[in-house]
Structure 1
Amino acid sequence: MPSVSGPNNLRVEVVYATAEQQWLLAVDVAPGTTLREAVRLSGIAEQVPGLDVDACPLGIFGKVVNEAAQQAVAEGDRIELYRPLLIDPKEVRKQRADKVARVFKKAKR
């Protein structure tokens, strides 16, 4: 478990998941550490091959943080690294609705 020395450190968690595996790393950081810095200090990049921690969107408890390089961590934060979407969720819903419409259209014939 990586840590930064100091009596006033903050404990945060850094998490990342794929379909096959999940990583949850606890890390102690100094007050004023940004979300991006905390992710780097966690060492998650070394544990997940191909993970570009500088390019991943970050969030705290399911809410995306747009200014992760400027926002300081708070005690107990759960910093989440998000994978890029492979397909737009709106497009998936549209395709599903189109498929249902085609099925109903055929059933009416």
Structure 2
Amino acid sequence: MTKRIAVFNHKGGVSKTTSVYNIGWLLSNNYKVLVVDADPQCNLTSLLLGDSFESYYIDDETKNQNLKDGVSTAFQGRPFPIQAVECYSPERLPNLFLLAGHANLSEYDAL
């Protein structure tokens, strides 16, 4: 059975990102885990990508593999189905998957 854990708090600095990172990392030792970075600051994405953070958003192969680009067709009213996004997985922990954030995700807040 699939389990979901959602972490939300409108206040900053309460350890949401750190908690998700550590819980996801620990659970991925025994389960497949998807962590979703829905914060425009992309701190969770930065933690998991490390030194590859900037190149992830520049490289043609990965630059559209993030939450914002994944749902863009729904918010732009295009008559196309939402396409799957390839989630990043660190080599050192293949059961942990990241749906990367995007700094401009907040553009969809008012829509």
Greater share of residues in strand: 1
Greater Rg by CA: 1
TM-score, L = length of structure 2: 0.26
* Higher percent of residues as helix: 2
> Which structure's relative contact order is higher, taking Cα pairs within 8 Å and 6+ residues apart?
2
Report the TM-score when normalising by structure 1: 0.26
